[in-house]
């Protein structure tokens, strides 16, 4: 019997969660036995007004109260218990009425934790049973990703599996270490050499290339980082991706006009085909979003992490640096010094070798295959 998959995500807190859902959708749609694989925004579907309010709260906390936001993230036990029940119960009714009853999914996959408690309540109330799957998109997991109604956890690394068992008493058979789902294009991109990607993108193939990104919103004081790099004596090719931050793009284009002859500064906005730019870069300076890190790992592009956002990004940074798969810089000058050292030593290559141990470019395919096995097992349990 053909299976119906529903992927529930959010995009208001950054594009990574939706990218993960779309990567899974891409694979599922090509697999035999998949009748449908639909991606929805959980809050956009259940309560557009609450989505607007949540987005406003999230971005203002990051802008004006980062320490408070980080403290709230670390107190996930308290917030999980106080918020998940009333919010989950209220949202579950709306999700049932607005999508679940019509879609009749066999498997529901969450790539963002916001609506997980609502989906758990909905699972208990739904006329047609479905499997509920948690797919965290970082290298850390907290209480919001956990619920007794969840049938399977698809996580990025063995440390997350250990945390689920030790802290949340999740049975080992429910946990699968798969990696973070990224688009299939990254698996193909690793076969192309860096200088070839540079040629295809129309940038100088022989120059040491530093890619600078700040996510969709263009975070991370990119202007200050670029100014520091442009003081370097040896020629650099600096590619700045400003995402959807039009004001930052305009500022950097003005900087581009005064960058001089020694260095080449390339300024781009939002780029959908990130595998090309990460594949072309010799070094990637970025904040450590889970998807960004997984994409860089897939292409073995050494990471310099800078200004991680509170919460999961700080945990991502701690994980990758502990694994010696990235370095964390605290100032633009330190970024410049790291790049200078990497150009004249094998440190960059050592980072790349450590990245090789963590990379899972086929995570989306692995998860999709497990989703079919999960549903098949469910069908056997029901006597089908």
Q: How confident is the model at residue 103 (pLDDT cuts 50, 70, 90)?
A: very high
Mean pLDDT across 211-233: 86
pLDDT digits (tens, 9 = 90+) for 243-276: 888 899 998 888 887 777 889 999 999 999 999 9
Q: How confident is the model at residue 379 (pLDDT cuts 50, 70, 90)?
A: very low
Report domain extents, the chain: 3-182+362-381, 189-358
Average pLDDT across the chain, whole number: 90
pLDDT at position 304 is 97
pLDDT digits (tens, 9 = 90+) for 21-52: 999 999 999 999 999 999 999 999 999 999 99
pLDDT at position 13 is 77
Do the domains at 3-182+362-381 and 189-358 have one common CATH topology? yes
Answer yes or no: CATH 3.40.250.10 is held by domain 189-358.
Answer: no
- Would you state the structure tokens that stand for residue 19, as one six-digit string? 């990218």
Q: 3-182+362-381 — its CATH code? A: 3.40.50.2000
pLDDT digits (tens, 9 = 90+) for 223-245: 999 999 999 999 999 999 998 88
Q: Is the pLDDT of residue 381 over 50?
A: no
pLDDT at position 9 is 97
Give CA–CA dist 10/176, Å, rounded: 23
pLDDT at position 260 is 72
pLDDT at position 377 is 55
């Amino acid at each position: 019997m053909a299976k119906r998959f529903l992927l529930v995500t959010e995009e208001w807190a950054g594009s990574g969660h939706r990218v993960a859902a779309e990567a899974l959708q891409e694979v599922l749609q090509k697999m035999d036995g998949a009748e449908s694989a639909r991606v929805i925004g959980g809050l956009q579907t259940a309560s557009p007004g609450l989505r607007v309010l949540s987005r406003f709260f999230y971005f203002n906390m990051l802008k004006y109260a980062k320490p408070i936001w980080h403290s709230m993230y670390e107190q996930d036990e308290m917030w999980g218990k106080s918020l998940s029940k009333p919010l989950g119960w209220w949202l579950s009714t709306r999700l049932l009425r607005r999508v679940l009853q019509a879609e009749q999914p066999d498997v529901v996959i969450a790539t963002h934790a916001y609506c997980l408690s609502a989906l758990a309540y909905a699972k208990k109330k739904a006329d047609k049973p479905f499997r509920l799957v948690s797919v965290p998109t970082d290298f850390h997991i907290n209480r919001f990703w956990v619920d007794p109604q969840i049938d399977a956890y698809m996580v990025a690394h063995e440390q997350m599996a250990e945390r689920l068992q030790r802290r949340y008493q999740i049975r080992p058979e429910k946990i699968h270490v798969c990696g973070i789902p990224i688009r299939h294009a990254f698996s193909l991109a690793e076969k192309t050499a860096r200088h070839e990607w540079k040629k295809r993108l129309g940038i100088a193939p022989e120059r040491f290339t530093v890619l600078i990104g700040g996510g969709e919103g263009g975070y991370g004081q990119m202007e200050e980082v670029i100014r520091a790099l442009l003081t370097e004596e040896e020629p650099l090719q600096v590619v700045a991706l400003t995402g959807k931050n039009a004001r930052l793009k305009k500022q950097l284009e003005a900087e581009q006009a005064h960058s001089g002859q020694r260095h080449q500064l390339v300024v781009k906005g939002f780029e959908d085909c990130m595998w090309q730019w990460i594949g072309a870069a010799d070094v990637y300076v970025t904040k450590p979003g889970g998807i960004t890190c997984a994409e860089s790992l897939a292409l073995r592009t050494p990471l310099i992490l800078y200004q991680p956002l509170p919460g999961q990004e700080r945990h991502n940074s701690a994980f990758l640096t502990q694994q010696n798969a990235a370095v964390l810089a605290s100032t633009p000058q330190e970024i410049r010094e790291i790049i200078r050292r990497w150009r004249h030593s094998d440190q960059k290559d050592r980072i790349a070798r450590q990245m090789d141990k963590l990379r899972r470019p086929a995570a989306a395919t692995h998860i999709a295959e497990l989703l079919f096995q999960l549903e098949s097992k469910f069908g056997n349990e029901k006597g089908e």
